[in-house]
Amino acid sequence: MRYPEFLREGGTIGFVAPSFGCTFEPYISRFENARKNFSSMGYKLDVAPNCSKAEGIGISNKPEKCGRELTDYYKSSQNDVLMSVGGGELMNEVVPFIDFEAVKRFSPKWYMGYSDNTNFIFPSVTIADTAAIYAPCAGDFGMEKWNPAIQDALDLITGKKLSFSNYDKWELELPEGADDLCSYYVTEPNKMKAYAPDEKANKSQTFCSGPEDVISGEEVKNEISFQGRLIGGCLDCLVNLAGTRFDNTRAFVEKYKEDGFIWFLEACDLNVYSIRRSIWNLREAGWFEHVKGFLIGRPGAAFGQEMFGLNQYNAVIDMLGQFGVPILMDLDIGHHPPMIPLVCGSYARVSFKDNNFKISYDLK
């Protein structure tokens, strides 16, 4: 696995828009203020043209122009790291125009983003063997008051911090009329969930054995721990990549099988049935071989949803319980912020006890 150099003091941050550009509020104001914040910290900026465009459908520009821009800025010596300015809807159409051979051939460079940016982050790891960061997009650095998760993301890309814990509260939704530069509206107590089959759990811990059984994080009194190579992303995107010519997952999993794998998965627009179908698809495609554990984020549209007996928990557990490994759910990953920054491709160590989640990264 290739790991880029961290952003140094006075270094240059490159901004790209392979998904949405910043062309409407609050994204315009947030990105403008993010640039001011980074400049005040002493960083130089390299802003790609598509960051302020809306000439594509669901993306900033035509797919070939988005792919060319991302490849050019990745290869460029004028910036040290790349941040995506936003998520979006159709970055999958950009993937054929990204030169992953160039990513593999050139010096590695940190890329940060999430959601639709899975379409670069996941292939960067599985095709180009180059780690990337699944974390907030550039606009979140434009909030007037930073949530601790934003500082964590900066501390990660600058190499100051490689170990992280969950946050106390999370955002269900913003209030009506929220200011464009407001921080995350964290009102909900962080109550995580766990599924750990008896044979994989600490023998002194009582866990339910059926795939339908999930316990609250507070009930986990003996530590659940596992380690392996961390891969994953937004389920909405991953299921589209599966089975295409950009799906190198099975070869990647076989290459690192001695490490085992920790999969992180979170969903944006999918309802609970779509989540279940998508996980079934990836499972049957052989993606989850050699798995050591699963990290499941709070689903964006489907949080609290129940449809004909299916909810966000049995949508996951019924599909993944057969692997006999721990599954931690409602984690600080994804579309209900704050989110722990994740180094996709790294060797990770996870621990969970008393509703406290910790993850650390070894860059090996």
- pTM of this structure: 0.94
Asked if residues 282 and 252 have their Cβ atoms less than 8 Å apart, the reply is no
**Domain 12-161 CATH (choose: 3.40.50.10740, 1.10.1750.10, 3.30.43.10, 2.40.160.20):** 3.40.50.10740
pLDDT for 212 = 52
Distances (CA, A) of 175 to 100, 123, 154, 191, 249: 41, 36, 27, 21, 40
Residue limits of CATH 3.50.30.60 in the chain: 169-362
Q: How many C-beta atoms lie closer than 10 Å to residue 49's C-beta?
A: 13
Query: Torsions phi, psi of 362, nearest 5?
Result: -105, 125
pLDDT for 177 = 83
Expressed in angstroms, the distance from the first to the final Cα of the chain is: 7
Tokens 């200011």 appear where? 179
pLDDT for 191 = 96
Q: Which residues of the chain have pLDDT under 50?
A: 199-211
Q: What is the CATH T-level fold of the domain 169-362, as seen in this structure?
A: Glucose Oxidase; domain 1 (3.50.30)
pLDDT for 271 = 97
Asked if residues 343 and 310 have their Cβ atoms less than 8 Å apart, the reply is no
pLDDT for 198 = 55
pLDDT for 215 = 87
Looking at this protein, which amino acid is placed at residue 360? S
Asked if residues 84 and 113 have their Cβ atoms less than 8 Å apart, the reply is yes
Looking at this protein, which amino acid is placed at residue 265? L
pLDDT for 208 = 39
Euclidean distance between CA atoms 315 and 227, whole angstroms: 24
pLDDT for 56 = 94
